[in-house]
Amino acid sequence: MTKRAIISGGSIGGLFAAAALMRAGWQVDVFERTDVELAGRGAGIVTHKALIEALQAVGASTEDLGVSVQERVAFDKAGQPVARIDYPQIVTSWDRIHQLLRVLIPDDRHHLGAHVAGYADHGDRVEAVLTDGRRVEADVLIGADGFRSSVRGQMLPDVQPEYSGYVVWRALAHEADLPAEVRDAVFPHFGFYAPTGTQIIGYPIAGPNNDLRPGHRRYNFVWYAPVKAADLADMLTDASGHLHHISIPPPLVRDAVITAVEAQAREMLPGPFVQILAQSERPFFTPIYDHASPVMAQGRVALSGDAACVARPHVGMGVTKAACDALALARHLADGPVEEGLLAYSAERVPASKSAHDRARTLGRFIFDDSVPNPDGRSNPRLDEIMRTTAINVA
Ligand SMILES: Cc1cc2nc3c(=O)[nH]c(=O)nc-3n(C[C@H](O)[C@H](O)[C@H](O)COP(=O)(O)OP(=O)(O)OC[C@H]3O[C@@H](n4cnc5c(N)ncnc54)[C@H](O)[C@@H]3O)c2cc1C
């Protein structure tokens, strides 16, 4: 008899798990709480060999995946290059990966506006319980519902995301809007600015509708900036005075918060990055949290992607880690009892996730290393290590 899986969460991790399980012969239903397709959101994603192989393994196209960058270049406060290394890599967008996976899932198996509140594991089957009262039965439930996962909340209530003390501001600028000197010197590269206490990385990605033509692409601006927990509360408060827990939807960020960060950017960042920000669509921020679950399965229920473990974005592993989780799930569930397969899955993926999580924390600590005066990004004692180990596959 065909086995049935329910996946809570229809972002990249959920779609990857769905596509991998479908190829292993499972009938899969994806429940996504958002009631519209997730297309058109998100910014840049770095790819790794493992991600490209995982896309191919689930039958997704990898043609026109993104923009090829050849070099990593670090700049100083004056906007001058201070270090270069060769590191060819394809950089793409969240949208592109989402779109490549979404077409693999039949519409009648992809349920929008379906919010999983919890589950009941009956031993021989599991029931997902939806907030609208529906109870849906399956052989396995996968919690791919992100870092504030309801499934993890029930399975491992003690595992809570921890605030790191800094946020990431992201913005996208259209290539055509950038001054010629920024287009020439900064745009084509995977760029860094690494003085003590803050950090920029940035790279080109496709334009809207995956437009890869020169002149039509966008620059993905990523800025790590320290924010004390008390100040974070103000940034997370919307214009009506409502304080959002953990993160705030970008359209609700108050204009005053955006104005303040633009002023801070003019003071702290090299000219080319200030110009990129000035030409960007409205920037948005995400507080950096992380967590690592000690197990990724219990009974007939598994966790994958960010629900299981969030590695800070320095390692650029969010999507690749979710992809590797999906392939491992499908492999361990290909035959044999579900519970045994999930135990083997957890044993394989917990150490891999933890390694990405720990490496990302180390890279985060490097931002605030003040052992050597480095006010302008020229004297970072770890610059070479940062450039060689940021956004590489570590799991
Ligand atoms: C809209 C969006 C844009 C993103 N953009 C970027 C980006 O630009 N760069 C980057 O590096 N990373 C981005 N990410 C994060 C990146 O997708 C993840 O790190 C990685 O893909 C692993 O994600 P995930 O699928 O495990 O979790 P997530 O991407 O967090 O997805 C979890 C999904 O589960 C849904 N969900 C949550 N709770 C429930 C519930 N109880 N029931 C049903 N559904 C639920 C959420 O709506 C969401 O779609 C983005 C995530 C989202 C959702």
pLDDT digits (tens, 9 = 90+) for 271-310: 999 999 999 989 999 999 999 999 999 999 999 999 999 9
pLDDT tens digits, one per residue of 344-380: 999 999 999 999 999 999 999 999 999 999 999 999 9
Cβ-based burial of 318 (10 A; exposed 0-12, middle 13-18, buried ≥19): buried
Q: Quick one: DSSP state of residue 318?
A: H
Cβ-based burial of 306 (10 A; exposed 0-12, middle 13-18, buried ≥19): buried
By alpha-carbon position, which residue is closest to atom 11 of ligand 1? 45
* Per-residue pLDDT band at 395 (split at 50, 70, 90): low
Q: Angle at which helices 94-102 and 49-57 pack, to 10 degrees?
A: 20
42 lines ligand 1 (CB under 6 A): yes
| Nearest Cα to Cα of residue 91 among 172, 10, 183, 176 | 172
3-state secondary structure (DSSP) of residue 74? strand
39 lines ligand 1 (CB under 6 A): no
Residues 6+ apart with CB under 8 A from 14: 7, 8, 30, 32, 142, 144, 145, 304, 305
Q: 200 CA to middle of ligand 1, Å?
A: 23
pLDDT tens digits, one per residue of 11-21: 999 999 999 99
The token duo for 12 is: 């990249």
377 lines ligand 1 (CB under 6 A): no
146 lines ligand 1 (CB under 6 A): yes
Instruction: Return residue ranges of the chain for CATH 3.50.50.60.
Output: 4-40+96-160+290-362
222 lines ligand 1 (CB under 6 A): no
Q: How far apart are CA 287 and CA 285, in angstroms?
A: 7
Q: 118 CA to middle of ligand 1, Å?
A: 18
The ligand 1 atom nearest the CA atom of 150 = 41
Q: 306 CA to middle of ligand 1, Å?
A: 7
Instruction: Return residue ranges of the chain for CATH 3.30.9.60.
Output: 67-95+162-288+364-389
* Per-residue pLDDT band at 38 (split at 50, 70, 90): confident
By alpha-carbon position, which residue is closest to atom 37 of ligand 1? 145
Mean pLDDT along residues 53-70: 96
What is the residue-wise DSSP string for 153-184? HHH-TT---EEEEEEEEEEEEEGGGS-HHHHH
Mean pLDDT along residues 64-77: 97
3-state secondary structure (DSSP) of residue 333? coil
145 lines ligand 1 (CB under 6 A): yes
Q: 318 CA to middle of ligand 1, Å?
A: 9
pLDDT tens digits, one per residue of 211-235: 999 999 999 999 999 999 989 999 9
Q: 21 CA to middle of ligand 1, Å?
A: 19
What pLDDT is attached to residue 57?
Answer: 98
The Cα-based distances of 259 to 213, 265, 284 in angstroms read 32, 10, 12
Q: How far apart are CA 313 and CA 356, in angstroms?
A: 10
pLDDT reading at 39 higher than 80: no
State which CATH number among 3.20.20.70, 3.40.1010.10, 3.90.220.20, 3.50.50.60 fits the domain covering 4-40+96-160+290-362: 3.50.50.60
The ligand 1 atom nearest the CA atom of 310 = 19
The amino acid present at 305, given as its one-letter code, is G
What's the CATH class of domain 67-95+162-288+364-389? alpha beta
Report whether 25 contacts 2 (CB < 8 A).
yes
Which stretch of DSSP H or E encloses residue 71?
A: strand 67-75
